[in-house]
Amino acid sequence: MSLLVSGIGELVTNDPALGSGALGVLADAALVVEGGTVAWVGRTAAAPEADARLDVGGRAVIPGFVDSHAHLVFAGDRAAEFEARMSGARYDGGGIGTTVAATRAASDADLRGRLRDLLAEMRRQGTTTVEVKSGYGLTVEDETRCLRLAAEVTTETTFLGAHVVPAEYVGRSDEYVELVTGPMLAACAPHARWADVFCEPGSAHAFDGDQARSVLEAGRAAGLGLRVHANQLSAGPGVRLAVELGAASADHCTHLTGADVDALAGGTTVATLLPGVEFSTRSPYPDARRLLDAGATVALATDCNPGSCFSSSMPFCIALAVREMHLTPAEALWAATAGGAAALRRTDVGHLGPGARADLAVVDAPSHRHLAYRPGVPLVRALELPR
């Protein structure tokens, strides 16, 4: 069955060959969907016949958001930690242990229910592709369980056994890295597409450069793609390691040296910025303009998790990126869609040219600019297409 979506006031295709600017914007546009794929894009006046028609009444249509960094398999929350931070406490990753304890104690049904609720919350805000990490189990059994649950809802699953050193391994972090790179990876790799590590040498909880390299090299040897939690709390070795190893993405990039910027601009690793974290931890925002002006590919993602940023909202990230990191509204939307797709090395999502997956989000406004212009207003929803 084919469906003609018409009356699109502004269609963002992210394909410069189809419309104006980097977003490939078309006014008075229409789009034909067939078998879950975009079959045709053009002006409403030139639209072909289709089996069914949906008029969106002059609203903007954008590619569904690609949230390339989220931690959605967990139990409990850390509202008290957030409250303490807002009174001056610093975020150092230490609270992750609280969520690990709650997650280990939770049933599959509880974890599954929370995961699905968060995904539904994301979808209501226009997100159609989500990466989901493990990282709150930190035993062979619990990491495998978290990844099995994640794999029920997305193909973008990430093994993050090296999130922090769990309580039972404190003072024995090298031994924990052996567990992660050995039996834990062996059990988890069949359920994961990616391997990730929290590289933060200055932190009492995370992993130094050598440990991160071991985790990433083992992940690669097991056939997984690579991503890195890099340079979140300080300008450590994470970003350069990610680029050197050809990781798909270096995430956070909050503290960057000139060498880090040059590495990202010269390599194939996407710089994924997570401004909800800076908002929720009251930290300085990354220098996004420096990255963009140097030629790095930038993605925006939520990092949705119970500690550093418990927001599932890509529109919120876009508003922060524009207001706090000086991206233009167009750059921010590109980073939240095509940028996220690049960070996941996906060519089927993040754009709306013919052949793309028909992941459409409708903005209840005439232009994508309203995403940042009207912060906090629920303007976007993923379009449910008839099967």
What residue numbers does the annotated binding site for 4-imidazolone-5-propanoate cover? 78, 136, 163, 232, 308
Nearer to ligand NIG, 229 or 255 (CB): 229
- Whole-angstrom Cα Rg for the chain: 21
Contact map string, positions 52 to 91, toward ligand NIG, x by CB under 6 A? -------------------x--------------------
Among 306, 315, 339, 350, interactor with ligand NIG by CB under 6 A: 306
With CB under 5 A as the contact rule, which of the stretches 101-109, 210-218, 299-307, 379-387 interacts with Fe ion? 299-307
228 in helix, strand or coil? strand
Q: What are phi and psi of 148, to 5 degrees?
A: -60, -45
Give binding residues as ranges: 69, 71, 78, 136, 163, 229, 232, 303, 305, 307-308
| The 249-252 sheet, strands edge to edge | 132-133, 157-162, 194-199, 225-230, 249-252, 270-273, 298-300
Q: How far is the CB of 157 from ligand NIG (least distance, A)?
A: 16
Rounded to a whole number of angstroms, the minimum distance from the CB of residue 164 to ligand NIG is: 8
Q: With respect to Fe ion, which residue has the nearer C-beta, 26 or 199?
A: 199
Q: In sequence order, what E strands does 138-206 have?
A: 157-162, 194-199
Which of 43, 282 has the CB closer to ligand NIG? 282
Write the CB contacts of 27 (distance below 8 Å, at least 6 apart in sequence): 9, 10, 11
Among 19, 93, 225, 329, binds ligand NIG (CB under 6 A): 93
SS3 call for 129: strand
303 binds Fe ion (CB under 5 A): yes
Three-state DSSP class for 159? strand
Cβ pair 283, 309 in contact under 8 A: no
Interface region with ligand NIG, contact rule CB under 6 A, candidates 33-41, 146-154, 239-247, 298-306: 298-306
Decide if residue 277 touches ligand NIG (CB under 6 A). Answer: yes
Q: Does 81 bind Fe ion (CB under 5 A)?
A: no
Does the footprint of Fe ion cover residue 131 (CB under 5 A)? Answer: no
Distance CA 64, CA 43 (A): 20
Q: How far apart are CA 248 and CA 228, in angstroms?
A: 9
Q: Can you give the binding site for Fe ion, defined by CB under 5 A?
A: 303
